[in-house]
Each structure stands twice: as C-alpha cells, then as structure tokens.
C-alpha cells in the first residue's frame, strides 16, 4: 500500500494521536484506528506497519465495505476449488497473503456476523481455514483495523461481537477531525499547494490570499484532510499565470447553475426564488427577456429559433454584467453567481472580448 502523501500537522491533538500509534507500533498486538472519513486512518496503518518488526513483511489491505457479504469470507480466508459456484481454482485469502506481515482491515464495522466469528478464531488461535477445506492453516499476522463507527455502541446494539472488540482493542488510536485541528490548516494548505504547483511546473509559489485563507478556516471540512487536499489542489490548478496569491476557492466541485435535478433529466438553476415571489419574478424575467430580444431586432412572436433566442439572451446578460464591472471578469463572475471558469467558458462561447 503506497501513498503519495504524508502525515502532516502540528496541532497537539494530531501529534498525540501519531505519538500513540508510534509507541504501539513495535508491539505485536492488534490496534484499532478510529476516525471520520478523510482523517488519515490508512496512513496511521502504514506507520504502524513500517515502525514494527514486520516492516519488511507484506502490508495487505482489505476494505471490508468494498465486497458483498457473500464474498467477504472467501476474500479473508481463501477458498478451495469447487467450494462455491465460480471457484474454479484454489485461492489463498488475505490472511495467508499477509503471513509474516500486517493485515489492515478498513471499514471493520461492516463485517457480517459470520465473518466476525471466523475473524475472532483467526486472531485467537492464529489459524484460518479456507472455505471448502477442513484443514486449518497457521498464519502469523498482525491485525490493524479501522472504522469511522463507535464500536462499543455497535456492541450494545448487537451489531458487533463484544469478544472480538476485546481482542482488537489492545490499543485504540482516535484521529481528530480537521475542524479540531485549526492550526494544521495553514500547514496542510502550504504542503498540498506547493506540491500541486511543482506538478504544474510553477517556478514560484504565490500562496493563498488572506481572504481565501479566511474561507478555508471558516469551512467545517466534513471530508477532513482528504477534502482539503482536493479543494487546495483544485484552486491551484485553476489559478492562471501565478500572478499574485490565489484567491478563488470552490468547496463544492458539483456547484453549477445547470446541475441536474435528482432523478430527472432536466437542469435546474442553483438558486430558486421564494414561492411567494414566483409570479413577480416570472413576470420580471419575461419583461427582461422580451426587452433583450427586441434590442436584438426581434420579438417573442417573431422568434422562430429558441436556441438562437436563448444564446442572444445569455450574451446580452454577460455583456451587461461585464460592462457594469468594467470588464473585471472575476467581479462579473461573482455578480452572476458563476465561477471564474464558468464565466470564461461562456465568454469564449459567445466570442466576447477577453474570452
């Protein structure tokens, strides 16, 4: 499992979690890594493996949520030829592949009850039995497991075995979410931003503007470090010319005035007028559209090409906004509730000056 990122941070909460993992790494005992999505659970698992005596052995990863329940056990413990439909030849499981090394079980809480039973036996006795076989195989594997669930609550609800939790929780490393690591945001922004700049061949690093950093600090980061990385790298690659610090931040890459309605094949605007103002807004839009069409030399009754009318209407709105903003494209994009890239695309489409 090779990653192209690192554990980066300076906050006390983050460093305490990394230190706890580092102290547990040399001990040949199971470790649970708990944290929200995007907090770096996989990176902690890597650290546990590479700082252990098993560092030169295999590090095998299995995402327990990525496979259907019917295949989980076969994936973990292997199977013999003919054990089930489609099993044309014998195959070792992840336990056998991890022999002498570490087995990282991600999304542990999604394991089915039968799989939990067999996992418990494998941990307790150090042996596994392939599906379709009666002969147990000895394995020497260290277990590192991760989840974003509160496992003690799942035990109380009967969804997770208490004895399995007891055997896996020799040490528990809980990673803090990014919203509780405010001092790490500038460090992470600089790290991901500079790396993206190098990838793009930038000679210098302009950094982010004060306003952009304020937005990054104010955002709640539900996707944690992984989401921050995407936001920062997207902002860097979209910034043109390296002229001045980066100003534009887009947190939601799906944000668009033309995004589709859920489950429908039509596009809807990003913002909708309040219901009580719908009639007046419609009337105003109709008057505006008719005035634009008339200024272009035709009326609604004379228009025989809807696409042409819409294109002319859009071009007129773009031109008016740009003129009002003195052709400052970033200001015009803000005035029209568009991203800078969306405005540039529209200007090129309508062959407007500077597009």
136-138 vs 127-129, strand pairing mode: antiparallel
Task: Please give the tally of structural domains in the chain.
Answer: 3
The pLDDT of 264-269, averaged and rounded, is 52
Q: What is the pLDDT of residues 203-261, one digit of tens each?
A: 899 999 999 999 999 999 999 999 999 999 999 999 976 678 999 999 999 988 787 87
CA distances from 101 to 59, 105, 218, 339 (A): 6, 13, 42, 48
Alpha carbons 265 and 267: distance in angstroms, whole number = 7
Residue 152's pLDDT is 96
Q: What is the pLDDT of residues 128-140, one digit of tens each?
A: 988 888 888 999 9
Boundary-marking domain end, from 219, 238, 257: 238
- Of 119-123, 180-184, 187-191, least confident by mean pLDDT is 119-123
Question: Where do we find the tokens 């013999």?
Answer: 80
Residue 5's pLDDT is 52
Alpha carbons 341 and 173: distance in angstroms, whole number = 42
For residue 269, tell me if it sits in a domain. no
The pLDDT of 148-172, averaged and rounded, is 95
Which structural domain range is residue 207 located in?
182-238
> Is residue 281 predicted with pLDDT exceeding 50?
no
Q: What is the pLDDT of residues 321-355, one digit of tens each?
A: 888 887 888 888 888 888 877 888 788 888 887 65
Alpha carbons 106 and 316: distance in angstroms, whole number = 54
- Of 108-117, 284-293, 298-307, least confident by mean pLDDT is 284-293
Residues in the chain: 355
Cβ contacts of residue 155 below 8 Å, gap of 6+? 161, 162, 165
List 79's β-bridge partners, or say none: 91, 131
- Of 40-54, 70-84, 110-124, least confident by mean pLDDT is 70-84
CATH number of the domain that residue 218 is part of: 1.10.8.60
Residue 61's pLDDT is 95
> Is residue 114 predicted with pLDDT exceeding 80?
yes
For residue 5, tell me if it sits in a domain. no
pLDDT band at 26; cut points 50, 70, 90? very high
For residue 263, tell me if it sits in a domain. no
Alpha carbons 47 and 25: distance in angstroms, whole number = 7
What's 81's DSSP letter? T
For residue 278, tell me if it sits in a domain. no
Residue 266's pLDDT is 52
CATH number of the domain that residue 316 is part of: 1.10.10.60
The pLDDT of 268-287, averaged and rounded, is 44
Boundary-marking domain end, from 156, 176, 196: 176
| Cβ–Cβ < 8 Å for 80, 132 | yes
Cβ contacts of residue 220 below 8 Å, gap of 6+? 179
CA angle 239, 245, 250 (to 5 degrees): 50
For residue 254, tell me if it sits in a domain. no
Comparing 194 with 275, which gets the higher pLDDT?
194
């Amino acid at each position: 499992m090779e990653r192209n990122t690192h554990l980066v941070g300076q906050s006390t909460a983050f460093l305490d979690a990394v230190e706890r993992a580092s102290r547990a790494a040399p001990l040949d005992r199971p470790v649970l890594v708990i944290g929200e999505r995007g907090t770096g659970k996989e990176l902690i698992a890597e650290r546990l493996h590479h700082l252990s005596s098993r560092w030169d052995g295999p590090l095998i990863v299995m995402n327990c949520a990525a496979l259907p329940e019917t295949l989980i056990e076969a994936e973990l413990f292997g199977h013999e030829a003919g054990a089930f439909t489609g099993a044309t030849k014998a195959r070792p499981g992840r336990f056998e592949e991890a022999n002498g090394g570490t087995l990282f079980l991600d999304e542990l809480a999604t394991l089915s009850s039968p799989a939990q039973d067999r996992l418990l036996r494998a941990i307790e006795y150090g042996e596994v039995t392939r599906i379709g076989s009666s002969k147990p195989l000895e394995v020497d594997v260290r277990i590192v497991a991760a989840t974003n669930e509160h496992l003690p609550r799942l035990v109380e609800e009967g969804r997770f075995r208490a004895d399995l939790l007891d055997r896996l929780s020799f040490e528990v490393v809980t990673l803090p979410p990014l919203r509780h690591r405010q001092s790490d945001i500038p460090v992470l922004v600089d790290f991901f931003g500079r790396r993206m700049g190098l990838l793009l061949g930038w000679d210098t690093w302009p950094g982010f503007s004060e306003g952009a950093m304020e937005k990054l600090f104010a955002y709640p980061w539900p996707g944690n470090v992984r989401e921050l990385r995407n936001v920062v790298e997207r902002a860097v690659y979209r910034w043109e010319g390296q002229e001045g610090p980066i100003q534009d931040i887009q947190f939601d890459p799906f944000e668009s005035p033309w995004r589709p309605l859920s489950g429908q094949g039509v596009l809807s605007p990003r913002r909708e007028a309040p219901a009580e103002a719908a009639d007046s807004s419609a009337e105003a839009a109709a008057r505006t559209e008719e005035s634009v069409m008339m200024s272009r030399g035709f009326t609604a009754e004379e228009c025989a090409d809807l696409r042409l009318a819409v294109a002319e209407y859009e071009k007129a709105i773009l031109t008016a906004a740009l003129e009002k903003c003195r052709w400052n494209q970033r200001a015009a994009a803000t005035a029209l509730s568009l991203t800078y890239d969306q405005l540039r695309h529209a200007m090129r489409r309508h062959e407007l000056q500077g597009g």
